Amino acid sequence: MQIAQNSVVAFHYTLTNDAGEVLDSSEGREPLTYLHGAGNIIPGLEKELEGRAAGEKLNVAVSPAEGYGELQEELMQEVPRDAFQGVESIEPGMQFQAQTQGGPLMVTVKKIEGDTVVVDGNHPLAGQNLNFDVEIAEVRDASADEVEHGHVHGEGGVEH
């Protein structure tokens, strides 16, 4: 069976950046499972998996535009230290949920300069080329419930 709209796909992967550093991998874990066509994975990877079948191995290069987007400078903000009420110690790399006019946004602390904290609302992989080594483990038709809900359900049914 080939991967198409409303297929359930399970695949193993290793994700590296252009320097060859491993950013994520399913090695030693269950394969990643998703509903094809429901926007559950980044667009560039989903597009390259279209038409593939179980057992296939492929290398996929995904540009920022087809991955987590280009870096948006406007998502880098300087905020006063006292905006982090109740947080004893702030360190670069810490993540917080900020309330914005557009709703909640995860931000990462980039640096601290005196009483000013620089936070970044971009996805941590925004602006990066992503390189996937993929092995497709399984392809099956999605159930009507999976299609309706827009995601894969577990072996025993709905797991919400």
111 inside domain: yes
Q: Are residues 130 and 109 in the same domain?
A: no
Q: Are residues 44 and 88 in the same domain?
A: no
Q: Are residues 61 and 84 in the same domain?
A: no
- pLDDT at position 122 is 95
Q: Report the alpha-carbon distance of residue 65 to residue 35 in Å, rounded.
A: 21
How many of the other CB atoms lie within 10 Å of CB of 36?
A: 20
Q: Are residues 15 and 58 in the same domain?
A: yes
Q: Are residues 20 and 64 in the same domain?
A: yes
Q: Report the alpha-carbon distance of residue 76 to residue 87 in Å, rounded.
A: 20
- pLDDT at position 155 is 55
- pLDDT at position 102 is 84
115 inside domain: yes
Domain hosting residue 108, numbered range = 73-120
Number of structural domains in the chain: 2
Q: Report the alpha-carbon distance of residue 75 to residue 61 in Å, rounded.
A: 25
Could you read off the pLDDT of 38-60 as tens digits, one per residue? Answer: 999 999 999 999 999 999 999 99
CATH number for the domain including 104?
2.40.10.330
Residue type, 115: D
Low-confidence ranges of the chain (pLDDT < 50): 156-158
The model carries a pTM of 0.82
